[in-house]
């Protein structure tokens, strides 16, 4: 069910130079899906109906991946504030809360986004920022609270006093805003900084000076806020996503002998009492029945396996395998329409 109260803006216009890639950063994949698709999925599953993705670098390729999402172009990348500004016209008729998040933070869950919107509405805030408590806050903006717990300021690391640098609550950069207040404040921010860019966080002090409340929603799991800037962080996000996928499957009745050596893409279906042995890769579009033995050292892609199937040391691609079939080790099945015992 869509939450008519809320809209979402996903910022996905940047190139991501630290990825050292010809491909736009948000098109790099985690668990078989481009990271921007993970963000859209979580926003959608949070029940938010109006979703706008701000595109820029390789805009056509990003649009192709997001065929069913409204994309808004940022022709020149002039900062996060400028990126949100591109959505002024599409949100001009909207008066509810608007979630602003990023195409390169793919680990936020739908539960977090739903809880953020709920907290924002409950607190009657002009802005609610997602914060996290981290062991090493170096480099992040610190959350300064007043005696009642409301956010008094967000101080960037370089501007923080020694005592403020001891604060471990950081700004993740994802917010929920009162839509009207957001665009009023965007009119007032300037590009008076070293990069000559318009920064979204600059609306926060304007809201505070106007006497409006800025609230904070604290993540229970700080790893959700991981932003991906390079291939090292891409691998970290993959490991976290794989942990989630394997955990969900194990709780549904699948035995995964060693989740750390198993790779399963999002959307694969595996039946109860199936056992997955180490060094197995299960890719998008694969459906596996109950009581199967898969692995070790298998790759299954876009295939359907019945129940009681045994596959060891083999590759199965775009194939259909009937019940109780045993695939000989070191087989390579590609586009086999029906394999029966």
Judge contact between 240 and 254, C-beta under 8 A: no
CB atoms under 10 Å from CB of 340, counted, come to 10
3-state SS track over 170-215: EEEEEEEEEHHHHHHHHCCCCCCCCCCCCCHHHHHHHHHHCCCCEE
Tokens 């979630």 locate to: 99
Judge contact between 5 and 97, C-beta under 8 A: yes
Cα 219 to Cα 270: distance, rounded to the nearest angstrom: 31
Active site (catalytic) residues: 18
Q: Which two tokens stand for residue 289?
A: 């029945």
Judge contact between 91 and 7, C-beta under 8 A: yes
Cα 341 to Cα 339: distance, rounded to the nearest angstrom: 7
Q: Which two tokens stand for residue 130?
A: 């997602």
Strand partners, 282: 264, 300
Judge contact between 283 and 32, C-beta under 8 A: yes
Strand partners, 239: none
Cα 242 to Cα 248: distance, rounded to the nearest angstrom: 10
């Amino acid at each position: 069910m869509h939450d008519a109260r809320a809209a979402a803006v996903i910022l996905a216009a940047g190139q991501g130079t630290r990825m050292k890639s010809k491909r736009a950063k948000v098109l790099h994949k985690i668990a078989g899906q481009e990271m921007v698709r993970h963000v859209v999925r979580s926003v959608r599953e949070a029940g938010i109906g109006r979703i706008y993705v701000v595109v820029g670098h390789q805009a056509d390729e990003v649009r192709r991946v997001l065929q069913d999402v409204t994309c808004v172009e940022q022709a020149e990348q002039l900062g996060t504030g400028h990126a949100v500004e591109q959505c002024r016209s599409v949100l001009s008729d909207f008066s509810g809360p608007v979630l602003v998040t990023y195409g390169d933070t793919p680990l936020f869950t739908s539960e977090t986004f739903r809880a953020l919107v709920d907290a924002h509405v409950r607190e009657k805030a002009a802005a609610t920022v997602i914060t996290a408590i981290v062991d090493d806050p170096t480099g992040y903006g610190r959350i300064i609270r007043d005696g009642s717990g409301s956010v008094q300021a967000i101080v960037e690391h370089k501007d923080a006093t020694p005592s403020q640098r001891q604060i471990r609550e950081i700004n993740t950069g994802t917010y929920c805003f009162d839509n009207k207040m957001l665009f009023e404040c965007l009119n007032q921010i300037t590009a008076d900084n070293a990069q000559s860019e318009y920064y979204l966080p600059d609306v926060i002090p304007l809201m505070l000076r106007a006497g409006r409340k800025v609230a904070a929603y604290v993540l229970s799991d700080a790893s959700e806020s991981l932003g991906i800037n390079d291939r090292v962080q891409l691998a970290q996000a993959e490991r976290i996503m794989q942990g989630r996928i394997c955990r969900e499957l194990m709780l549904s009745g699948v035995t995964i002998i060693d989740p750390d050596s198993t790779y399963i893409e999002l959307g694969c279906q595996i039946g109860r009492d199936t056992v997955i042995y180490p060094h197995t890769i299960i890719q998008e579009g694969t459906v596996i029945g109950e009581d199967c033995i898969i692995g070790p050292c298998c790759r299954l892609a876009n295939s359907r396996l019945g129940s009681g199937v045994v596959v060891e040391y083999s590759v199965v691609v775009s194939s259909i395998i009937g019940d109780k079939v045993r695939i000989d080790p070191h087989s390579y099945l590609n586009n086999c329409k029906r394999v029966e015992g």
